[in-house]
Structure 1
Amino acid sequence: MKKYRVGILGATGTVGQRFVQLLQGHPQFEITALAASDRSAGKTYAEACAWKLNGSIPENVREIVVTPIEPPLDCDIVFSSLPSGVARETEEAFARAGFPVISNSSVYRMDEDVPLLIPEINADHLGLIEIQQQKRGFGTGFIVTNPNCAVASFAPPLAALHRRYGVESVVVTTLQAISGAGYPGVSSMDIVDNVLPYIAGEEPKVETEAQKILGTFRDNSIDKADFTVSAQCFRVDVIDGHTASVRVDLKEKATLEDIVAAMKEFPTLDLYSSPARFIEVLEEPTRPQPRLDRDSGNGMTITVGRVFPDNVFDYRFVALSHNTVRGAAGSTILNAELLASKNLI
């Protein structure tokens, strides 16, 4: 198996740390470069990083000297967890310098020539890469993105339903963990004993990204899925795990048993980070719960429960994903594994 040298942009942040953690022992990817802001550049990773995950900083990256966030980097591919304010210019610079950029940042997700990937759902959207390179003059470089961390929780079960019965419309309420705000994130005085009914910029992402992911790659572009999404997004006092309460109308009639089967039977992939089951449907009336279910499939499984007929829409269900694994770093790594399997990096 070919080994790829990986550089991480935003390596000291919450998602950057999760990249470092998840890449330990990976058979295809080896971290050779870590890049962060000017205040971290020039220090070793151990000196620059205030590690916030379980365990300690892995030994193989402790002494890597953090570099500025600019090309070139000593790597073959780049994983990006940059904030939106700097991601567009910086990721383009790396792509233009010939690097494949696999990004968790939001700024390129809805660009028409940039794949917005959940590999189990829309791997064929990688056909946009060649179009992107021609359009932007990137040469061998390109940009591929993964979705918003909340969208990662409910797009998979919607994809299962959309493929079989067609989705007409969706109402989703997301209950999003505080880790999604980065570190230090939300003040404890704001979030403890509280629910915050507003996350800046979140609802427009939740309302638009699923249609692109579930769209059809045709004639060198994406025909977005033709259903509508109405979203409300809340920040809740949970460390990790985004929960989505979903109500859905379908274009075709389906029984409750049909709905559950469509989700359970949705195929997974044979990639290193793929879970044994992409979508797991639980029958217990009190599940899913973040504390109990977010780590299912090493954080890469989407857990669904509370699947019932609805009094207003056709059906309702609850979906849960680990927001910094399946919803962020793990999704980016899975995208890179898909690219490697197709010899695109």
Structure 2
Amino acid sequence: MNKKLMGLLMAFVLLSGLLAGCGSATTSGKDKNHIVIGAAMPVFDDKWLSYLYDGINQYDKEHKNVEVKMVDAKNDSSKQMSQVDTFITQGVDAIIINPVDTDAVEPMVNAANDANIPVIIVNRAPSKKVLKKIYAYVGSESLEAGTIQMKKVAELLGGKGDIGLMNGTLGQESVVKRTQGNKDVVKENPGMKIVREASADYQRSTGMTLMENWIQSGKHFDAIVANNDEMAIGAIAALDEAGKRGNIIVAGIDGTIDALKYVKDGKLNVTAFQDAFGQGKGAIEAAIDAVKGKKLKNNFINIPFQLVTKDNVDEFIKKWEK
């Protein structure tokens, strides 16, 4: 009889421990002194995105009650899905996702919603359907970037010229929208024509290789317009090496510190500054608001693009020096 009683007591203790564990994992962030945020990022080896991560990590360092668990999907959507599942199992209070592929993010959002964990998507815009399922999207309007970029190029060309268009990684929302903005402006300027268009995968080295191929084709260009700064810098390197730069206008997007130095030196004519640090900070602030139950009137938190030329580049360089 004593053995049975001892066994029942032990079972009761174990059950109590399990229930306590479950309770702690699901406790609302509103009542917690310690908030845990899962951050599922697409790839750590990306210069521009590293500034976005800095915005998240800086907030983490300045707030002792906030803990960020940041993971690298290595540009693999299935790996990112697994990482989000792990965050859900761990019972994090909110999840920030910068999707490897925006077309693959919905199952991640659905899984988090099923666990009552708010989701914030940053930088890469989800579909309208997914936007309705998340707490907030924090990013910049890519259509605006492509538009202001090409408008400045059109101004510099006097509305006439042959354009080489470098696309980023195909399928990404930013590529679709930035390119659409470019082409909308070209349509408004009958004297401008896109004579070459290809993907350089958002990479400097690939942009250089693509530009080398275009040079070898013997095609004439008045401007090279790239979906990001890295490809534009690659194009500049190829043109310089071949002695073909001349008066060719080169334009990028993002306003990385490398690109701003190229603008200051007169090598890159145009870029559109995308505030990576501001997006990261905005994403984690939105995550904290979500945990605290704050209601949003509009769940698209826009961090606007700003046009950069040699005339105003110094003010943007200062932003990176903070």
TM-score greater than 0.5 by the shorter chain: no
Q: Return the TM-score normalized by structure 2.
A: 0.38
Q: Return the TM-score normalized by structure 1.
A: 0.36
Bigger share in helix: 2
